[in-house]
């Protein structure tokens, strides 16, 4: 890893550059199929490629998007004009990345908890992805809340896997996005979420230290501290920001260059407002940015709906969401920005 340290640090800093964020376009085939079918589009290799190409070929996308997380299928595909996706991304100033986990599976010996798989053969897969042009990677751990969850057992096995993945990524000269997601499904309060998120982050950074991860050469992708989506007492953006940043200050080392928050099940507007409030907190020790999937692609997917004639309008919808989140990245998002896109 030593020979890759400078490369890792430079890439990680570029991923969390000011005014930009990361597009998560790494949905599995199953997840992407559900999203396409929801807007009346048959899911096949071509429709999935067309939609993802629509996003990344949006004019000036590289101004607001620093990197794109690709799925195994997409990183091996070519755009309509015959260019491999990673090559096309680099030409427009976007860093290509790759999702490498193979999904969350039931955790043996635990009730309704999960562990993410995909470590077998990962060293060889990293060699292939590096050759294809990937400069960073992503692995997501799923942590459930409720009825005694998360258990220390679930936190430990997921943290251990995240750190093993991160070590293999850095060995290959690829920046690891470390994603421990504490799920926000349910009616739990923000206090419960804060406690579970804190325990999870402590477990993750304990494992990262044990496995000698070079912290300046990674990016953290966590959940924000939110109340469960069914909780009647929903916090303001200011409370989310205060709770999240205060918790992270005590756990996340300052050597980590940036924290790219996931959007989870938040609405487009909530994800932008919460991110903006965090960027208005004073004396942040890390870059605070976004790595959104649904909060960036939901509206353009609906606008497109599989129709070639809708591609330009879908790109305008994507550009709008990227603009809103880039503004939030600077602490400058407001609800008035949502009025700027004329349907």
Active site residues: 179, 221
Q: How far apart are CA 117 and CA 174, in angstroms?
A: 19
Rg (CA), the chain: 19
φ/ψ bin of 103: left (φ > 0), alpha (ψ from -120 to 50), beta (otherwise): left
Q: How far apart are CA 38 and CA 307, in angstroms?
A: 14
The helix or strand, by DSSP H or E, that contains position 160, with its residue range, turns out to be: helix 152-171
Pairing mode of beta strands 114-116, 219-220 = unpaired
The helix or strand, by DSSP H or E, that contains position 21, with its residue range, turns out to be: strand 21-25
CB 136 within 8 A of CB 11: yes
Residue 263: CB atoms within 10 A of its CB come to 24
3 state DSSP class of 300: helix
Q: How far is CA 242 from the centre of its chain?
A: 21
Please name every residue paired with 78 in a beta bridge, in sequence order, or none if there are none: 84
Q: How far apart are CA 333 and CA 327, in angstroms?
A: 5
CB 178 within 8 A of CB 208: yes
Joined tokens for residue 127? 């060699």
Q: How far apart are CA 42 and CA 197, in angstroms?
A: 37
Joined tokens for residue 326? 């880039």
């Amino acid at each position: 890893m030593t020979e890759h340290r400078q490369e890792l640090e430079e890439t990680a800093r570029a991923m969390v550059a000011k005014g930009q964020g990361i597009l998560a376009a790494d949905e599995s085939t199953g997840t992407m199929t559900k999203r396409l079918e929801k807007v009346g589009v048959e899911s096949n290799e071509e429709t999935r490629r067309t939609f993802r190409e629509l996003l990344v070929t949006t004019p000036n996308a590289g101004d607001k998007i620093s990197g794109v997380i690709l799925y195994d299928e997409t990183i091996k595909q070519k755009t309509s004009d015959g260019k491999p996706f990673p090559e096309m991304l680099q030409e427009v100033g976007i860093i290509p990345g790759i999702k490498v986990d193979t999904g969350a599976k039931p955790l043996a010996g635990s009730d309704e908890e999960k562990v993410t798989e995909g470590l077998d053969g990962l060293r060889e897969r990293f060699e292939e992805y590096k050759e294809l042009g990937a400069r960073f990677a992503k692995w997501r751990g799923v942590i459930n809340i409720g009825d005694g969850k998360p258990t220390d057992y679930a936190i430990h096995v997921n943290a251990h896997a995240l750190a093993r993945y991160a070590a293999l990524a850095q060995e290959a000269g690829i920046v690891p996005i470390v994603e421990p997601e504490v799920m926000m499904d349910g009616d739990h309060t923000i206090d419960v979420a804060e406690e579970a998120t804190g325990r999870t982050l402590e477990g993750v950074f304990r494992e990262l230290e044990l496995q000698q991860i070079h912290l300046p050469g990674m990016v953290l992708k966590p959940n924000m501290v939110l109340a469960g989506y069914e909780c009647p007492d929903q916090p303001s953006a200011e409370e989310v920001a205060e709770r999240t940043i205060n918790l992270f200050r005590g756990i996340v080392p300052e050597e980590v260059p940036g924290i790219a928050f996931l959007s989870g099940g938040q609405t487009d507007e909530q994800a932008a407002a919460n991110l903006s409030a965090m960027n208005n907190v004073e004396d942040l020790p890390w870059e605070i940015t976004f790595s959104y999937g649904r909060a960036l692609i939901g509206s353009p997917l609906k606008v497109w709906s599989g129709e070639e004639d809708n591609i330009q309008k879908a790109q305008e919808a994507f550009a709008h969401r990227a603009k809103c989140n880039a503004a939030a990245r600077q602490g400058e998002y407001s609800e008035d920005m949502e009025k700027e896109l004329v349907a």
